[in-house]
Structure 1
Amino acid sequence: MSNLNLNFSGDTDSEDSQKGMYLTFHLAKEDYGIEIRYVTEIIGIQKITDVPDMPAFVKGVINLRGKVVPVMDVRTRFGLPARDYDDRTCIIVVNIDDKEVGLVVDKVNEVADIPDQQIEPPPRTNRESTRYIQGMGKIGNEVKILLDVQKLLYSDELAMLGGGGELF
């Protein structure tokens, strides 16, 4: 699969026009979404260099046009069963606080407009994976699980170890 390289604008002038816009993707049996303002590009799966002593969900790093970018497998982060990467597997490159991170997902769906009034709070459970959920977005008869990208990228466990809470 060639790079999709959609290069989303991350400037603050376009932030208002990006409100309510989510990049949706498929993972296991569910559809998820992340705020488009964090997405810089979508690329096909490529060689990931393993880095020792990283959490299991951090698959390693990629070389993205000369820049080393850490890559997280979202399936592993959620405790879902592993699956082989295929030609639909993508890396969504997101930028949080000027740090780029790649998120491996099964496949990218579309950019969807989900207004605030169509988003409900996440269900309350004691499950670890629900802390990454920002809300439940309703599109027609479907529900998209909207993720809080910052909570995916920053880890409370590392803060307890004295790492300041930053994962990368």
Structure 2
Amino acid sequence: MKNNLYLTLSLNKYLYGINTVYVEEVFNLPELTTISEVPHGIIGFVNLRGKILPVIDLNLKLGYLSPDYRLTDSIVVLKCEDFQLGMIVNQIHEIRELSFEKISTDLNYPRELLVDQQANINMIAGIVNFPDDIFILNEPKQWLEDSEIKQVLSLSNYLQKENYDNYNVDETQTHDSESLLLQKSIFYPNATLEARKVLKQRADHLRLPTKNQDFQSFKTLAVITLNDHLFGIDLEMVREFVEIHQVTPIPCCPAHIIGNMNLRGEILTVVDLRGLLLNLPPQGIVFGSKAIVIEVEGIVAGVIVGEIYDVMFSLNLQKVMAIPKTINTINEQYCQGATLYNEKTMHILDIPKIFLQGGLIVDEVI
């Protein structure tokens, strides 16, 4: 039985999955520039480090109205063969491992998804009940006709030759920067002035060429919660995200060791870090509890989490700050610092220290 990893995401009110083999990166929604006479569903273009990236809204492609865009939306950059495409989504969820056998092609579409049956056939490969309905997306090149792909590539090449950037309006024509911003965001007509400033800042950063960016100063994190506190975990140490269905208690173990679970034939020990990080008693396992499988220097364990907020958060290490002194509920010795995530303080966990020096090892076995 062959398994693949799928990035799950929310679009409108439905849950979709895309094979991670197509996923290159994820970033927050920036300013997009629209062009007339584009294929249906393409909402604009963004300059991504000097390369023009077309962006698609699957709501439009599937035949129903697109909801209002928000600053919390993201763009997932996909690549299929030589074709690169951005996909706007409302929320990124966890990565799930699914077998082909679980993907049913007998689709029971909601009424809203029956607007354009041909688009459904081109875009949706099947459905998985796990336990929510997840619509599995086809490879991105199937979303557009060959003629539409050629048109998109032609427009991208034209913009590339014209030395396009997202803000090619001559700003010397006006001294009123706010008036200039109000002329933009055509794809996001309901954006406030403050929102448009944020969109512009994001786009300004994205179009910086690679040579001007120090990628060693960035780290990708998974963002999780424990008792309403936000924590970031280095994604390089995260093996996968799982739901906990059954745990067998282990006799004579410390309270933070919840027990063992069978993960596709592998016995995985499940631990609760609340006592270590928050000085709180461990909580019991309930149906639907989630865990992150972490591997550090050969040690593998499932770490119980509350919610998984983000699976590909790009952290600028230059923005890591000392833990605020006003926060005294966090055990600082197991944190590498703090940063802001959606205007809230997030603590960055020192996973190697937690696993190797936090007392999680019992008789050399977790």
Distance 1:166 1:45 in 2: 25
Distance 2:107 2:80 in 1: 25
Structure 1 residue 83: deviation in Å? 1.8
Verify the 8 A CA contact 1:122 1:133 in the aligned structure 2. no
Alignment of 1:64 onto 2:48: yes
Which protein, 1 or 2, shows the higher relative CO under an 8 Å CA cutoff with sep ≥ 6? 1
Distance 1:69 1:88, change over 3 A: same
Alignment of 1:36 onto 2:20: yes
Structure 1 residue 167: deviation in Å? 5.4
Counterpart of 2:117 in structure 1: which amino acid?
A: R
How many percent of aligned residue pairs carry the same amino acid?
Answer: 25
Distance 1:97 1:47 in 2: 26
Distance 1:44 1:150, change over 3 A: same
TM-score by length of 2: 0.36
With 50-59 and 122-131 compared, the bigger mean Cα shift is at: 122-131
Where 1:42 maps in the other structure, the secondary structure is strand
Give the 5 Å matches for 1:151-166: 151-152=142-143, 154-155=144-145, 158=147, 166=150
1:137 aligns to what? 128
Verify the 8 A CA contact 1:25 1:109 in the aligned structure 2. yes
Verify the 8 A CA contact 2:38 2:151 in the aligned structure 1. no
Distance 1:110 1:147 in 2: 16
Distance 2:119 2:40 in 1: 15
Structure 1 residue 94: deviation in Å? 0.3
TM-score by length of 1: 0.76
Counterpart of 1:52 in structure 2: which amino acid?
A: S
1:96 aligns to what? 80
Distance 1:122 1:90, change over 3 A: farther
Distance 1:65 1:122 in 2: 41
2:29 aligns to what? 45
1:10 aligns to what? none
1:83 aligns to what? 67
Distance 1:166 1:58 in 2: 13
1:13 aligns to what? none
Alignment of 1:107 onto 2:75: no
Distance 1:104 1:135, change over 3 A: same
1:150 aligns to what? 141
Aligned length: 143
Counterpart of 2:128 in structure 1: which amino acid?
A: G
Alignment of 1:73 onto 2:57: yes
Where 2:60 maps in the other structure, the secondary structure is helix
Where 2:101 maps in the other structure, the secondary structure is helix
CA RMSD of aligned residues (A): 2.3
2:100 aligns to what? 116
| Residues 110-167 of structure 1: CA deviation (Å, up to 9, x unaligned) | 211111121111428881232111111231x222000102311x316x3xxxx7x645
More helix by proportion, 1 or 2? 2
Alignment of 1:128 onto 2:146: no
Distance 1:108 1:167, change over 3 A: farther
2:184 aligns to what? none
Counterpart of 2:56 in structure 1: which amino acid?
A: M
With 90-99 and 76-85 compared, the bigger mean Cα shift is at: 76-85
Structure 2 unaligned runs (5+)?
109-113, 153-366
Verify the 8 A CA contact 1:75 1:105 in the aligned structure 2. no
